[in-house]
């Protein structure tokens, strides 16, 4: 059995690869990370490991072991690509030089999702090393475009190739509700992510000479944003909230029994003076079961040091909607596009272009794959497994359901303060090791 | 007498120096431009040319010729610094490689203000070459911080040194109302320029996990901006518009008689689908005699290619107010600072920090310096000189009035389509040559 030191060294090697999928500069690094995963699988004795290529896309890593006759087949999913590391100057140690402080490892992708992907890889490695076989059949499908919308895996899954035929998917890309609390994620929000471009004059203008008569695209973006969402977090896009399916009373009751301290959440996870959002819903409902509209970045005009008195010709904002049960990404995109045009002040024109999207997903919990996962997690962590939702989006879960007809088991080992998508992302090392234990136990229970 | 070719070559050499005063990278270039001006003055036989230095500031260029006993003394003002050239990719030819197309020369600073500063330099050169003397006394004071608020010249003027004692200032840094129409500018807006910083959480957050509960500083900036100004261009800052002195009925009548075609202005100067601003005022009133609030640039969150689902911890906008008669920059800054705090939504904090400011300025027109300037311009251009205001700000005019007790004669030779502060800035070469003729004639009339 590989020691924790060996596993940690492997994780460090994985984390050193800057596989930022959204940035063309890192295309070669993304491929290196894919090759890293493939080599790990091959080293475990997984058969037919290969990179599945598609023009203009990062490769998918595939590998299979199908020697457990009569036993279920699991589709094991993770992703080897990471978010961009900026703002770089807010990292304590560089994002691609993994650093261990206390019980945590700090690096971009430590938790999301290299650390968690490694749980799948190392669980299979341990069983193969120990037994020379697995108690269940597995197909690995590890992608490199999760952070940029997953077009490649989507088109693969949509084509339903025979080689993906499985009984359930296991996804390692979510969080525990709290440290030490084994957690299955059974619901995710959907997403539409895109760019809002606003154009005013056909060239930049001197703000002294023209200020008071010329349209200002940055101001127009401000007008549009405040038309789309009010100060209480209500989304004002006409028709947007019409078909939302609220959580059941049983779910709400279960959520209310979770150990959630709003003050601690505000202080430790958010670090702001107060929370925001729809006051008539609890924080858990707001982040798990209510849609949001967020602006992620904005650029326009002069942003250098000092002063430039210009009215810019153009401004661009990155804008997303998170969607909940029954909201359709395509329909919501059309509603947003219409609302943006409607809200644009005179003198400017506005256009919203979606970059990627994914449907919300609610997992059916009434099957042995969920039940045995919960059992394995409870055993290893010594505590009852809780069922939660997540406010994030893993579009692939909806696609596994729709096209492959299989449930997704989301076994997550991240922690709420792991700084996903932010500087100083970390992974709690005990969760890495217990995660592997839990995954091994899960395979054993399913194969018994 | 120097030929137009010689003058043009000198202008090209001047324009090749990237004297961007706001960018520390160009500190050396700014000094080179100062030295260029000093050398030109020395070459004309101006005495005591020197750079006036101050720690942390770009030099002022000084020189004097005081041999016209009993004649008036003029303080000749221009500036050798320029605005940043970005966005670079919108220039047809590079901003610091002057290019002549048709009757225009294209370069950053062509009009604002190297071309116009050269009018002062070359007028004096011509008279000295021709007569070995000037008909009036002159003191040159050419600054290198006009585009960044002019702190250095401000503190010099405030200290009222004897060597600045003059009877009137002549400023070459404004525009003609229309091509071929000799123009004196007799009113300028003031300015307060600064940065609005909004902070939310103490670190960037994953928009999926926290969207719906976490404060978003970009959204907060949108809320603040729309609280400060409505869609019709009315500034909503409490108390901000209370003391504005409107133009006189005579001024309004004169403005109405100016040849102004709103459709042409929209199509040729702005290039947008419609104008904006307070509908109850004319375009000329809106840009000359009404205050504005403009956002010049904004940055926050992820602005790279592709997608990053982050709620940023912080966002910054460059924000200015243009002020009109009777509005005090310090008082207006305080009002804006309070309004920004008041408008900031919960969960975020907002702060406005002024970078530079300048008072509005209305010139007294009842003196021989204005009258003879109008006469000289009418003679050279063959048409009656018109009196206009400008929406821009030249804070030094107010300071000359306040501290030196002298009127400012703003003889401007820019054209409305010269793209000041924007890509493809240009200067109309016939205005350069006629401007020198007019300046020579002005000195002759004053010294007669």
Average of pLDDT values for A134-155? 94
CA distance B28 to B30: 5
When pLDDT is averaged across residues B333-350 and rounded to a whole number, the result is: 98
Closest by Cβ to B298, choosing from A23, A298, A424: A298
Antiparallel, parallel or unpaired: β A386-390 and A183-188? parallel
Q: What is the pLDDT of residues A125-135, one digit of tens each?
A: 999 999 999 99
The beta-carbon neighbor of B274 closest among A311, A318, A346 is A346
The lowest-confidence range among A301-310, B60-69, B344-353 is A301-310
For residue B149, what pLDDT is reported? 80
Residues of B in contact with A207 (CB under 8 A): 292, 294, 296, 320, 322, 421
User: Residue A20's pLDDT is what?
Assistant: 97
Domain A4-189+360-447, classified CATH 3.30.365.10, yes or no: no
Instruction: Indicate if the pLDDT at residue A149 is higher than 90.
Output: no
- Cβ neighbors of B86 (< 8 A, separation 6 or more) are A302, A304
Residue in A260, A307, A354 to test binding to B, most B beta-carbons within 10 Å = A307
Q: What is the pLDDT of residue A395?
A: 79
Contact flag A86-B304 (C-beta cutoff 8 Å)? yes
Q: Do A206 and B298 touch (CB under 8 A)?
A: no
**Closest residue, chain A, to B23 (C-alpha):** A305
Using alpha carbons, list the distances in angstroms from residue B64 to A33, B76, B139, B147: 70, 10, 4, 24
Which chain A residue's Cα is nearest to B204? A422
Q: Which of these, A205, A222, A203, lies nearest to B287 by C-alpha position?
A: A205
Interchain contact, B211 vs A322, CB within 8 Å: yes
Closest partner residue to A189 (CB to CB) among B208, B215, B356 is B208
Longest dimension (CA), chain A: 79
Q: List phi, psi (to 5°) of B178.
A: -155, 160
**pLDDT for the residue B293:** 97
pLDDT for the residue A416: 86
Helix and strand element counts for chain A (H, E): 13, 18
Averaged over A151-155, what is the pLDDT? 93
CA distance B303 to chain A (A): 5
**Could you report how far apart the first and last alpha carbons of chain B are, in Å?**
21
**pLDDT of res. A394:** 84
Show residues of chain A in contact with B24, CB under 8 Å: 305
Q: Is B249 exposed, middle or buried (0-12, 13-18, 19+ CB in 10 A)?
A: exposed
Residue with tokens 């018994």: A448
- The per-residue pLDDT for A218 is 98
Q: B1 to chain A nearest CA, in Å? A: 35
Closest partner residue to A422 (CB to CB) among B147, B204, B277 is B204
Range from A357-371, B29-43, B334-348 carrying the lowest mean pLDDT: A357-371
pLDDT at B42 over 90: yes
Nearest to B419 among A189, A203, A213 (CB): A203
Model confidence at B426, in pLDDT bands (50, 70, 90)?
very high
Q: State residue B289's pLDDT score.
A: 97
Q: Which two tokens stand for residue A388?
A: 């939660």
pTM of the model: 0.84
Chain mean pLDDT for chain A: 95
- Band of residue B308 on the pLDDT scale cut at 50, 70, 90: confident
Q: Which among B218, B292, B424 has the least Cβ separation from residue A298?
A: B218
> Chain B: nearest CA to A380, how far in angstroms?
26
pLDDT, mean of residues B102-124: 98
Which positions ≥6 away from B280 have C-beta within 8 Å? none
DSSP state of A21: T
Architecture of the domain whose range is B190-251+288-355: 2-Layer Sandwich (3.30)
Per-residue pLDDT tens digits for A276-309: 999 999 999 999 999 999 999 999 998 888 888 8
Output the pLDDT for position A45.
96
Residues A412/A173, Cβ–Cβ less than 8 Å: yes
What pLDDT digit, counting tens, does each position of A359-411 carry? 898 888 889 999 999 999 999 999 999 999 999 888 788 889 889 999 999 99
pLDDT, residue A402, reads 86
Instruction: Indicate whether B265 pLDDT > 90.
Output: yes
| Gap from B46 CA to chain A (nearest CA, Å) | 33
β-pair partners for A11: none
Whether B398 has a pLDDT exceeding 90, the answer reads no
Residue A160 main-chain phi, psi, to 5 deg: 45, 55
The nearest alpha carbon in chain B to A223 belongs to B226
Of all residues in chain B, the one with the smallest CA distance to A292 is B212
Which chain B residues are closer than 8 Å to A276 by Cβ? 213-216, 345-347
Say if the Cβ atoms of A211 and B294 lie within 8 Å: yes
A301, closest residue in chain B (CA to CA) = B297
Give the per-residue pLDDT at A424: 96
CB distance B391–A209 less than 8 Å? Answer: yes
Q: Are B30 and B108 in contact (CB under 8 A)?
A: no
pLDDT given at position A366: 86
- ipTM confidence: 0.84
Taking CA–CA distances from B423, the nearest residue in chain A reads: A204
Share of chain B above pLDDT 90, in %: 88
Residue among A243, A240, A223 at smallest CA distance from A340: A223
CA distance B56 to chain A (A): 14
Distance of CA A113 to the CA centre of its chain: 9
Instruction: Report pLDDT for B333.
Output: 98
Percent of chain B topping pLDDT 70:
100
pLDDT band at B420 (very low <50, low <70, confident <90, very high): confident
Which class would CATH give A190-244+290-358? alpha beta
Contact A298 B303 (CB under 8 A): yes
pLDDT in tens, B145-167: 998 888 899 999 999 999 999 99
H helix runs in A382-428, sequence order: 396-399
- B50: pLDDT strictly greater than 90: yes
Check CB contact under 8 Å for A215 and B272.
yes
Residues of B259-294 as b/e, b for ≥16 C-beta within 10 angstroms? eeeeeebbeebbebeebbbbeebbbbbbbbbbbbbb
Contact A418, A176 (CB under 8 A): no
* pLDDT > 90? residue B330: yes
Nearest CA in chain A to B282: A213
Calpha distance A316→A301 (Å, rounded): 10
Residue B428: count of CB within 10 angstroms of its CB: 24
Q: Where in chain A are the domains?
A: 4-189+360-447, 190-244+290-358
In b/e form, how buried is each residue of A122-147, taking b as 16+ CB within 10 angstroms?
bbbbbbbeeeeebbbbbbbbbbbbbb
Sign of CA dihedral B115, B117, B122, B127: positive
Ramachandran quadrant class, A333 (left: phi over 0; alpha: psi -120 to 50; beta: rest): alpha
* Digit-coded pLDDT (tens) for A228-263: 999 999 999 999 999 899 999 989 998 999 999 999
| Among chain B residues, CA nearest to A198 | B272
């Amino acid at each position: 059995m590989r020691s924790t030191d060996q596993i940690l060294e492997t994780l460090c090697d994985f984390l050193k690869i800057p596989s930022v999928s959204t940035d063309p500069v890192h295309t070669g690094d993304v491929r290196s990370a894919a090759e890293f995963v493939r080599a790990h699988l091959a080293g475990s004795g997984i058969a037919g490991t290969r990179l599945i290529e598609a023009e203009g896309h990062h490769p998918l890593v595939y590998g299979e072991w199908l020697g457990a006759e009569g036993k279920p087949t699991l589709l094991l999913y993770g992703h080897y690509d990471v978010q961009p590391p900026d703002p770089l100057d807010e990292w304590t140690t560089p994002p691609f030089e993994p650093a261990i402080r206390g019980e945590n490892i700090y690096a971009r992708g430590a938790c999301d999702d290299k650390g968690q992907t490694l749980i799948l890889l190392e669980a299979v490695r341990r069983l193969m090393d120990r037994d020379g076989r697995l108690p269940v059949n597995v197909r690995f499908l590890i992608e490199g475009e999760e952070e940029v919308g997953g077009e490649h895996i989507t088109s693969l899954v949509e084509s339903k190739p025979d080689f993906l035929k499985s009984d359930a998917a296991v996804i390692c890309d979510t969080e525990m509700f709290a440290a030490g609390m084994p957690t299955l994620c059974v619901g995710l929000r959907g997403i539409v992510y895109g760019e809002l471009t606003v154009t005013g004059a056909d060239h930049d203008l001197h703000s002294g000479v023209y200020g008071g008569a010329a349209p200002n695209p940055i101001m127009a973006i401000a007008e549009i944003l405040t038309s789309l969402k009010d100060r209480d977090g209500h989304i004002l896009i006409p028709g947007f909230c019409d078909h939302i399916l609220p959580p059941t009373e049983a779910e709400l009751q279960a959520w209310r029994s979770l150990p959630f301290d709003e003050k601690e959440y505000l202080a430790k996870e958010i670090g702001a003076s107060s929370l925001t959002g729809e006051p008539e819903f609890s924080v858990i409902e707001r982040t798990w079961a209510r849609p949001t509209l967020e602006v992620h970045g904005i650029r326009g005009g002069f942003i250098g040091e000092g002063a430039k008195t210009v009215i810019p010709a153009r401004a661009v904002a990155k804008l997303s909607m998170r969607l909940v049960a029954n909201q359709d990404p395509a329909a919501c995109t059309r509603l947003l596009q219409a609302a943006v045009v409607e809200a644009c002040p005179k003198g400017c024109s506005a256009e919203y272009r979606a970059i990627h999207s994914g449907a919300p997903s609610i997992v059916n919990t009434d099957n042995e794959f969920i039940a045995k996962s919960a059992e394995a997690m409870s055993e290893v962590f010594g505590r009852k497994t809780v069922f939660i939702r997540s406010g994030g989006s893993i579009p692939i879960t909806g696609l596994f359901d729709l096209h492959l007809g299989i449930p997704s088991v989301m076994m997550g080992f991240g922690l709420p303060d792991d700084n996903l998508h932010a500087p100083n992302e970390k992974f709690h090392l005990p969760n890495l090791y217990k995660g592997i234990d839990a995954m091994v136990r899960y395979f054993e229970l399913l194969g018994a």
